[in-house]
């Protein structure tokens, strides 16, 4: 408990300190980061503090002052000196701070900060009024001890604060060599100027998960993915937060993406109304083969398939469903949620699904199931069925579709699908995706729909509405290199996104505390 409390205290102090003086020393403090870490989280603290305006927030600073007043006199006085002159901390927060996990089994790792003045950091440690915390000198560095444990270590360039479930020794990290052979993606990640980000290597994570959940990984060739690494960077701009995610080191991921993912088919947007509030567009090929290759030998998936077939038989299906039937889906697909259809019996948003098919085998299975539900389903045209008087399910022009009555009546004629007079293609929602695979949501329209349908009645649901109204929309796209970009847009497009997130978090936290 002492270890955890001290680690949290020291890390919190480092973050609250803010704008310490900038130095031009080299990035040699990063040399303690091992060649093959499991997870690395990076934060450019000063940039985040500046954009969030955290230290200018009266509610936050008031809380910080109250917390300082509850500390011992020695600690309180020193922290006040640091708040008056942040350079007294000895930490260089103009350089990125890191949290590194190098052993996933016991969550062993360390927090890493650049140091501008070693003696000032030592003074900060000495100011902590705890008889079990002490400083010892070692060969070239200082040890921060908590009883007999080496909790932290620092030299002229770096401060390391260690953590783990079990025993650890911060001094181990001070012995790292300066010429660590980092992978290209890790080296680029460490050197990049991004404000916030994380790096994750899957080898140890998958190995541990495979051992702990053997049944869940049965039938999956985990070795194919053990070289996979993920790099995510986040930047905050006026009115927008941008997250970029890229995958590295696994040819298997790229092969699967090439073999089983098709380009988005934007021509399908002509069947979606302009009043769409959420749009998912993608593409697929050999989908059944993909499932069989990745989880085809998984006993749990076999049980799911058997259970699905039992349910389908009860619904009237005569043949068994097999994964290979999904190979009928070949090309683009779109799933959209539109605003409330005022003519519908129930004031609910409408859903539309359209997918390219190379044959009618999958629909043949669906047709058997529909024909077995005579009480709820009626045939209205060749390969078209009306379900519960609300949605049309059918197959036409090599497309499988599910459409609400209003959309179907406008775009279906003479056993063929026609485009809507006013479709989603020219809207900002569709423009956010372009021709790439992805999802776009108009959060303002979602909030309005929730309000108009009366779905938000409870206090917590009304709070959700107030939060949604702060946001304009969100979207993510996946390009041909399997790189993901996610954007969150705010209604206020002048104020930095991080400040808006901070203001929202503080307001919600205070609201919860008051209530």
pLDDT of residue 23: 34
Q: How many CB atoms lie within 10 A of CB 270?
A: 16
Query: For 321, phi and psi rounded to 5 degrees?
Result: -80, 130
pLDDT of amino acid 273 = 94
The whole-number pLDDT of residue 21 equals 35
d(CA 25, CA 28): 8
What pLDDT is recorded for position 15? 46
Q: State the pLDDT at residue 209.
A: 67
83 SS3 class: helix
Return d(Cα 175, Cα 465) in angstroms, integer.
Answer: 52
CA angle 62, 65, 66 (to 5 degrees): 85
55-61 LR contacts (CB < 8 Å, sep 24+):
55/16, 55/18, 55/19, 57/502, 57/503, 57/506, 59/506, 59/510, 60/506
**Total Cβ atoms within 10 A of residue 365:** 19
pLDDT of residue 515: 56
> Token pair for residue 60?
């936050």
| Residue 399 CB-half CA count within 13 A | 22
The DSSP secondary-structure symbol of 445 reads H
Report how far residue 138's alpha carbon sits from residue 160's, in angstroms, rounded to the nearest whole number: 14
What is the per-residue pLDDT across 282-337, written as a single tens digit (0 to 9) for each? 999 999 998 888 777 777 788 888 999 898 888 878 888 988 999 999 999 999 99
pLDDT value of position 24: 33
434: region left, alpha or beta (phi > 0 left; psi from -120 to 50 alpha):
left
Render pLDDT for 352-382 as a digit per residue (tens, 0 to 9).
999 999 999 999 999 988 888 878 899 999 9
Q: Is the Cβ–Cβ distance between 441 and 272 less than 8 Å? A: no
Ranges of H-type helices in 223-349: 251-260, 287-295, 299-314
pLDDT at residue 114, rounded to an integer: 93
Q: How far is Cα 184 from Cα 7, in angstroms, rounded to an integer?
A: 31
CB-CB contact of 164 with 106 (8 Å): yes
Q: Residue 368: what pLDDT? A: 87
Q: Do the Cβ atoms of 296 and 323 come closer than 8 Å?
A: yes
10-residue mean pLDDT profile of the chain (515 residues): values are 47 44 53 92 90 84 78 75 73 91 91 92 81 83 87 92 89 71 90 92 77 58 79 96 91 84 87 95 91 78 88 84 92 92 70 95 91 86 91 96 94 93 93 93 91 74 85 93 93 96 85 59
Judged by DSSP in three states, 307 sits in helix
Percentage of the chain lying above the pLDDT 70 cut: 87
- Which tokens belong to 156? 């002229």
- Can you read off the two tokens belonging to residue 458? 């409870």
């Amino acid at each position: 408990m002492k270890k955890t409390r001290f680690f949290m205290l020291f890390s919190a102090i480092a973050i609250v300190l803010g704008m310490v003086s900038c130095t031009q020393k080299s990035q040699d403090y990063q040399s303690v980061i091992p060649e093959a870490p499991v997870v690395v989280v990076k934060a450019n603290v000063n940039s985040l503090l500046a954009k969030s305006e955290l230290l200018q927030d009266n509610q936050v600073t008031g809380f910080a002052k109250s917390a300082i007043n509850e500390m011992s006199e020695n600690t309180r006085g020193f922290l006040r000196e640091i708040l008056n002159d942040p350079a007294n901390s000895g930490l260089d927060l103009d350089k990125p701070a890191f949290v590194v996990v190098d052993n996933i089994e016991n969550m062993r790792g360390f927090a890493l900060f650049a140091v501008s003045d070693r003696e000032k950091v030592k003074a900060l440690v000495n100011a902590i009024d705890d008889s079990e915390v002490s400083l010892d000198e070692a060969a070239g560095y200082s040890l921060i001890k908590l009883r007999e444990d080496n909790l932290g270590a620092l030299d002229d360039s770096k401060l390391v604060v260690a953590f783990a479930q079990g025993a650890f020794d911060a001094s181990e990290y001070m012995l790292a060599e300066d010429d660590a052979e980092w992978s290209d993606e890790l080296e680029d990640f460490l050197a990049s100027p991004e404000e916030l980000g994380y790096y994750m290597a899957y080898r140890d994570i998958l190995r541990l998960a495979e051992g702990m959940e053997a049944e869940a990984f049965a039938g999956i060739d985990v070795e194919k993915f053990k070289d996979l690494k993920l790099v995510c960077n986040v930047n905050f701009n006026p009115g927008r937060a941008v997250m970029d995610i890229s995958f590295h080191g696994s040819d298997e991921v790229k092969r699967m993406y090439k073999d089983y993912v098709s380009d988005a088919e934007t021509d399908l947007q002509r069947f979606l109304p302009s009043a769409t509030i959420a749009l998912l567009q993608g593409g697929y090929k050999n989908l059944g083969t993909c499932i069989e290759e990745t989880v085809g030998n998984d006993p749990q998936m076999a049980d799911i398939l058997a259970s699905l077939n039992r349910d389908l038989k009860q619904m009237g299906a005569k043949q068994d469903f097999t994964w290979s039937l999904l190979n009928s889906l070949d090309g683009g697909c779109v799933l959209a949620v539109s605003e409330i259809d005022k003519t519908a019996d129930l004031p609910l948003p409408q859903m539309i699904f359209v997918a390219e098919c190379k044959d009618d085998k999958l629909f043949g299975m669906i047709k058997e199931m529909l024909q077995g539900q005579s009480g709820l389903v009626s045939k209205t045209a060749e390969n078209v069925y009306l379900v519960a008087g609300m949605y049309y399910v059918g197959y036409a022009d090599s497309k499988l579709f599910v459409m609400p009555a209003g959309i179907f009546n406008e775009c279906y004629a003479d056993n063929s699908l026609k485009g809507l007079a006013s479709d989603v293609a020219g809207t900002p929602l569709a423009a956010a995706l372009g021709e790439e695979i992805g999802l776009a949501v108009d959060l303002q329209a979602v909030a309005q729909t929730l309000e108009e349908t009366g779905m938000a009645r409870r206090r917590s649901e009304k709070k959700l509405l107030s939060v949604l109204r702060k946001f304009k929309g969100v979207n993510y796209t996946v390009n041909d290199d399997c790189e993901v970009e996610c954007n969150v847009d705010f209604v206020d497009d002048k104020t930095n996104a991080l400040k808006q997130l901070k203001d929202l978090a503080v307001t919600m936290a205070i609201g919860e505390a008051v209530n």
